[in-house]
């Protein structure tokens, strides 16, 4: 509820005493000159003049006096600096949460302001009307939140932080901003916060709300079309199939063209006829004999509200054979690998091997095979040293598969039912699956007494162990063996970026593997560079990707190129929620201005000027008529 307040009430109110001498002048009588008159008829006019010039009658009928008193009252009121209290009262702390996600760069018209510009205008007015004792804290959020200022009443600091805020090409999530505001409230309690956004938010937010929230929505619906997915799949003929998904908002342009570019050169283009709320998937085929940095660019025939979702990027490597090492003694495994067109199996004919080189896939059963560098590895009949105390293997008794993880990529479509195994694998006394998990291993295949296959993996690599030897089973005679080899090769191909390449969503890049402790140089799409250090597992993580483009990560001779784009269907649709559900609290959107302290003294000063000008005009339009009237 609003109420009237004054910044400088009593010192300025003393100026009202000027009215005393002003009124006193009007009580003084006029001194009249002696004059001879030819007739007594004029005495009537003299008597009327005396009555009119009596103090109270003169005070009652003098319009000029009342106007001057009104001007004085307005000037005194302006000097007292009146204002209207907004909600929260005087001396309050108010955090303002500002959405600067991708959809905030949308425009309602071609040359109109962005939604972020509208939000800034609203918040700037809030800052300009800040009353003494009130303090604001600006918090910006998109995918993540950050504090722009602490609680302050410094208008210059608040305006500067607001002006420096730009749009991040990432989706919007207010969860982190609300949690940050909640954390601030523990040190400096406040009663309410203000949320300024276009309403393109999740309908539900899973966080506590310990304060009142004013949900201020900006922006108008507008036509838009954007790219929401972009990926490439390797073909069996060593070419790439590139697929681009395009979605439209509730209002869509009449037409569009999708172009595929590399190095500024248009490789292919296809026309589109978007439908409101529709989805189209467009395919291209490209050769795989050269590395390409691809840009999928969407060009609308008419007005398109959001430009951030009109581009997506892919970094395609040269398609190469997958390097697979299988010793000749494992004939069934070697034969299965050689049947795959994308595999180059070592040792080659005549025992030719790539000594010292890293392989994409290694399948072996000896210590020497385990020492060969590889991205994906399958060891047969070998128990990892850390797991040796957990299991025992005997030549008698046999094992039967009772369960296995069918959702595991390596076991996809691998049928292990009725598999005969002559070796008996069983847990040691008191040992269970959790003991393997404690060592970082997953049990993928179970027998009635113990594990038959385990896995230890990290981002970009995986090591599988069959705890029984396949020569003592019927696996070499089953279709499951070549399917298993194909799955392992597909996993190695994926790790090498040779099977599928996806345009990543903006926000945070996935972990990238380098040498442990290595320093990687990160080159952004705009050319800016930063450095990141790999952890003890060799992973560089937490690299921010706030804008669409190709991100280059390099450490020595190792280099990884990653393409990123907005790729968020909700941002492209430019939808807006009317209600934000924060746990059990429902916060409704409002289009009204943010509650603030409304300063009134400029209005009072302007009113005084208007009355003064009116007085001057009125009393000067007939100067001769008014010159005969008494004056102080």
**Residue ranges covered by each domain of the chain:** 3-85+601-627, 93-221+575-596, 322-495
- What is the pLDDT at residue 30? 46
Query: Does the domain made of 93-221+575-596 have the CATH classification 3.40.50.300?
Result: no
Please name the residues in contact with 119: beta carbons below 8 A apart, sequence gap of 6 or more: 98, 99, 104, 196, 197, 198, 218
Going by C-alpha positions, the residue among 321, 632, 348, 368 that lies closest to residue 493 is 321
With a CB cutoff of 8 Å and minimum separation 6, the contacts of 352 are 346
pLDDT at position 1 over 70: no
Task: Give me the phi and psi of 462, to 5 degrees please.
Answer: -155, 145
Residue 343, pLDDT > 90, answer yes
The string of pLDDT tens digits covering residues 466-522 is 999 999 999 999 999 999 999 999 999 998 999 999 999 999 999 998 888 999 999
- Which of 76-80, 176-180, 408-412 is predicted least confidently? 76-80
Cα–Cα distance, 287 to 263 (Å, whole number): 15
Least confident of 139-148, 348-357, 562-571, 610-619: 348-357
pLDDT over threshold 60, residue 86 = no
Over the stretch 256-287, which tens digit does the pLDDT of each residue have? 999 999 999 999 999 999 999 999 999 999 99
Contacts (Cβ under 8 Å, ≥6 apart) of 349:
none
123 vs 69: which has the higher pLDDT:
123
CA separation for the pair 395, 13 (Å, rounded): 105
Residues 307-328: what's their mean pLDDT? Answer: 95
Q: Are strands 192-197 and 145-147 parallel, antiparallel or unpaired?
A: unpaired
Residue 632: pLDDT band with limits 50, 70, 90: very low
Look at residue 238 and tell me whether its pLDDT is greater than 60: yes
What pLDDT score does 540 carry?
Answer: 93
Q: For 32-41, 131-140, 361-370, 561-570, which range has the lowest pLDDT when averaged over its residues?
A: 32-41
How does residue 397 score in pLDDT terms, banded at 50, 70 and 90?
confident
Contact between 447 and 400 under an 8 Å Cβ cutoff? The reply is yes
- Which neighbouring-strand residues pair with 466? 380, 453
Q: Return the pLDDT at 129.
A: 83
Could you tell me where the DSSP H helices lie in 268-344?
A: 331-338
Average pLDDT over residues 346-354: 67
Q: How far apart are CA 422 and CA 425, in angstroms?
A: 10
Residue 440 has pLDDT above 80, yes or no: yes
For 43, residues 6+ apart whose C-beta sits below 8 A from its C-beta are none
- Looking at the DSSP bridge assignments, the partners of residue 399 are 421
Distance, in Å, from the CA atom of 436 to the CA atom of 454, rounded to the nearest integer, reads: 9
Measured between alpha carbons, how far is 475 from 505 in angstroms, rounded to an integer? Answer: 41
Q: Note the pLDDT of residue 47.
A: 55
- The domain over range 322-495 is classified in CATH as 3.40.50: yes
Q: What is the mean pLDDT of residues 94-104?
A: 96
Return left, alpha or beta for 147; rule: phi > 0 is left, psi -120 to 50 is alpha, else beta: beta
Q: Is 503 within 8 Å of 242 (Cβ atoms)?
A: no
Q: Are strands 558-565 and 529-533 parallel, antiparallel or unpaired?
A: unpaired
Q: Is the pLDDT of residue 566 over 80?
A: yes
Domains 93-221+575-596 and 322-495 share a fold: yes
Q: How many residues does the chain have?
A: 632
pTM of the model: 0.75
Sheet harboring 579-582: ordered strands across? Answer: 145-147, 135-141, 93-99, 192-197, 212-217, 585-590, 579-582, 204-205
Is residue 131 pLDDT above 90, yes or no?
A: no
- Residue 212 is inside which H or E element, if any? strand 212-217
| Mean pLDDT score, 200-204 | 92
**pLDDT at site 626:** 47
Q: What is the mean pLDDT of the chain?
A: 86
């Amino acid at each position: 509820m609003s109420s009237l307040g004054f910044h400088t009430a009593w010192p300025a109110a003393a100026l009202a005493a000027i009215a005393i001498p002003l009124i006193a002048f009007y009580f003084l009588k006029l001194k009249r000159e002696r004059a001879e008159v030819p007739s007594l008829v004029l005495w009537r006019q003299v008597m009327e003049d005396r009555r009119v010039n009596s103090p109270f009658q003169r005070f009652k009928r003098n319009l000029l006096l009342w106007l001057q008193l009104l001007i004085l009252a307005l000037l005194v009121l302006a000097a007292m600096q009146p204002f209207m209290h907004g909600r929260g009262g005087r001396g309050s702390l108010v955090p303002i949460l500002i959405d600067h996600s991708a959809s905030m760069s949308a425009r309602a018209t071609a040359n109109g302001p962005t939604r972020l510009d509208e939000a800034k205008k609203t918040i700037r007015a809030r800052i300009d009307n800040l009353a003494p004792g009130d303090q604001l804290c600006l918090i910006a959020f998109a995918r993540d939140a950050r504090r722009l200022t602490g609680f302050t009443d410094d208008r210059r600091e608040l305006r500067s932080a607001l002006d420096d805020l730009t749009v991040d090409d990432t989706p919007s999530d207010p969860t982190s901003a609300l949690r940050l505001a909640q954390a601030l409230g523990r040190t400096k309690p406040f009663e309410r916060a203000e949320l300024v956004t276009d309403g393109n938010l999740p309908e539900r937010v899973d966080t506590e709300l310990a304060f009142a929230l004013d949900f201020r929505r900006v922006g108008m619906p507008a036509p838009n079309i954007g790219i929401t997915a972009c990926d490439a799949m390797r073909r069996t003929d060593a070419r790439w199939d590139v697929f681009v998904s395009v979605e439209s908002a509730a209002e869509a342009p009449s037409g569009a063209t999708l172009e595929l570019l590399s190095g500024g050169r248009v490789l292919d283009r296809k026309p589109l006829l978007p439908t409101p709320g529709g989805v189209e998937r467009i395919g291209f085929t490209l050769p795989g004999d050269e590395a390409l940095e691809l840009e999928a660019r969407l060009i609308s025939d008419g007005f398109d509200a959001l430009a951030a979702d009109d581009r997506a990027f892919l970094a395609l490597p040269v398609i190469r054979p997958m390097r697979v090492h299988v010793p000749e003694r494992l004939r069934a495994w070697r034969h299965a690998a050689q049947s795959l067109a994308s595999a180059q199996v070592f040792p080659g004919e005549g025992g030719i091997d790539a000594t010292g080189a890293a392989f994409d896939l290694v399948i072996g059963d000896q210590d020497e095979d385990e020492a060969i560098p590889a991205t994906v590895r399958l060891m047969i009949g070998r128990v990892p040293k850390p797991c040796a105390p957990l299991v025992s293997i005997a030549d008698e008794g046999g094992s039967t598969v009772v369960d296995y993880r069918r959702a595991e990529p390596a076991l996809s479509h691998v049928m292990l039912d009725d598999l005969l195994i002559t070796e008996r694998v069983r847990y040691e006394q008191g040992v269970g699956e959790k003991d393997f998990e404690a060592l970082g291993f997953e049990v993928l295949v179970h027998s009635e007494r113990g594990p038959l296959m385990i896995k230890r993996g990290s981002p970009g690599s995986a090591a599988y162990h069959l705890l029984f030897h396949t020569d003592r089973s019927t696996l070499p005679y089953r279709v499951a063996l070549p399917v298993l080899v194909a799955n392992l090769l597909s996993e190695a191909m994926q790790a090498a970026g040779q099977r599928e390449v996806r345009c990543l969503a903006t926000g945070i890049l996935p972990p990238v593997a380098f040498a442990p402790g290595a320093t990687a140089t990160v080159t952004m799409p705009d050319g800016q560079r930063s450095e990141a250090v790999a952890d003890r597992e060799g992973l560089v993580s937490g690299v921010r990707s706030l804008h669409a483009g190709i991100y280059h990560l390099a450490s020595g001779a190792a280099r990884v190129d990653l393409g990123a784009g907005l790729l968020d269907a909700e941002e492209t649709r430019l939808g807006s929620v009317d209600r934000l559900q924060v746990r059990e609290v429902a916060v409704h959107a409002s289009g009204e201005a943010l509650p603030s302290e409304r300063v009134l003294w400029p209005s009072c000063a302007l009113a005084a000027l208007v009355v003064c000008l009116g007085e001057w005009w009125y009393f000067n339009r007939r100067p001769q008529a008014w010159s005969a009237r008494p004056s102080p």
